[in-house]
Structure formats: structure tokens, C-alpha cells
Chains A and B, each alone.
Chain A
């Protein structure tokens, strides 16, 4: 069976699952599916997405950025995070040697496919400890509801 079916029991994410399964089949099972928009390795910022009963939560790992310069927008079910991180590594000179330059520098843009049912009108974005947390509440109609089973004598 598809392991992702077991991992993501939520019906709400059916479409996302299907897409991820296709990606997994293309690139081989890696334990964890990745987004079609993040197939390339090492995209900045790294993004994790999860859902609770109340909201869709996106975490973008973007350290060292002025939150005022982060642009977050939602359009047609796609979340876009854009911004720029300045390069703080000075030029090499006689007195200065640069041994490693692994940290991302420059402008970036990430696009994330939101699960169905996310309400783009009420998006909440908080930047803390270098992580941008975007919380999008679910629309009332897509929240999990308990249906009571009546007993008929």
C-alpha cells in the first residue's frame, strides 16, 4: 500500500497526497514526500507544513532576515514567500581569509501549494527565532465535524 495514505489520513488533503505520491514515484521513495515546487535540493528557506483541526501551519526556516522585508502573499491557493538575505561575508584580502561560504545569500522566492479548505482571508504571519510561522485558519465548512449517530427503536 501507499505509505503516504497511512501517514495522512485526512480526507482534506487527498489532492495533496495524490500529487505527492506522483512526485514520490518519479523520484523514488524517500520516506518523506516533498512538494512539486521544492523538488530541487537546498531551496531557501526550507519549508515545513502541517495541519491541525483549526488551521494550516507553514514554517519557513529563514534566519537572519528583517521581517519587514519579508513578503507573504496568498493567491489562488498558492502561498508565496519572498525576500532577500544580505551577504555579510566580506571580500577576501591579505588580512582576511574566507574558509566557508555555505549560508544562503541573495533574493529568494518560495511557492507552496495550500491544502483545500484554507481560508486565505485570515492569514497570520509571525517571525520568531529565524522562523516565519504562517497560520491560515480552515474554513468552517472544511473543519472536522462529529456526526452523532442516533438510535432508532
Chain B
């Protein structure tokens, strides 16, 4: 339980927990797509990366380990969790997604399926 969950409750009692949209870098090269996501305050155990059809969803609660009796003075992070979704395309191999979380930065690598990788097409001389 951290202070920010309290914040959310105070802001909108009974409403769904608000989620922050984390900033990302998305880079594509010949082998696949690299997604880098800023997720400060997230521990590996709580991070959820889900692929449903062609939709990739990253979800993670923020855990600060703050004590219960903390009185907020001010807050720029006003949600208790992060959430962001992407639509993938068919040539990506979702079974081989590689994910690493370090110092609050998530690195996701989605490789392209073998047949989708660029290859030279030889032109035969007739």
C-alpha cells in the first residue's frame, strides 16, 4: 500500500484506479522492434506484459514502500500504476518477446518472424 493509492481514492472515491501512460522509445531494425519504457518504482514481480491477439499491454503498479501514515505534501505522480498498450503487426514473433527491467527501465524486444526478415531477392539472368 503506498501513498499514491490514497491519493487516487481521495480524488475520485469509488472510481477505477487511474493509470499513468509511461513514456516510450520505439526503434525498429532489420531483426525486430525494441521498446524502451520508463517505469520508475516498479518491481519485476509486479510487472505484467500481456499479448492478446495483436495487442501488447504493459501494466505495472508503482510500489514505493512508503509508510501508511504519510501525509502527501504534493504529488506529480498521481496514479498508482502504469498502463500502456500497442498494436503489433503480423510479421512480429510475439512468442519470442524478450523483456528486461533494470533501474525502472523496461527493455522489450520483439523479434520479427524468420520469413519476415529482409532478404535479397536474386535476379536471375534469363
Contact = CB atoms under 8 A, between A and B. Distances in A.
18 contacts: A34-B74, A45-B40, A46-B76, A48-B3, A49-B75, A50-B73, A52-B70, A90-B27, A95-B30, A97-B27, A100-B26, A102-B25, A103-B23, A103-B24, A104-B23, A127-B103, A130-B41, A131-B104
Interface string B58-92: 00000110110111111111100000000000000
Interface string A41-63: 00101111111110011010111
Most buried by A among B4, B29, B104: B104
B98 interface: no
A115 interface: yes
Given A64-B105, A65-B103, A129-B42, A102 B23 contact: yes
A145 interface: no
Nearest to A59: B64
A114 B89 CA distance: 49
Interface of A: 7-10, 13, 16, 20, 31-35, 38, 43, 45-53, 56-57, 59, 61-65, 88-90, 95-104, 115, 127, 129-131, 133
Contacts of A59: 41, 64, 66, 77
A131 B36 CA distance: 17
A102 B24 contact: yes
Interface of B: 3-4, 7, 10-11, 23-30, 36, 38-43, 63-64, 66-67, 69-78, 102-105
A56 to B, nearest CB: 8
A105 to B, nearest CB: 9
Nearest to A61: B40
B77 A46 contact: yes
A104 B23 CA distance: 8
A103 B25 CA distance: 6
Contacts of B30: 95
Most buried by B among A8, A45, A64, A95: A64
A50 B8 CA distance: 15
Most buried by A among B26, B70, B73: B73
A61 B39 CA distance: 9
3 nearest CB pairs, A to B? A130-B104, A63-B104, A130-B40
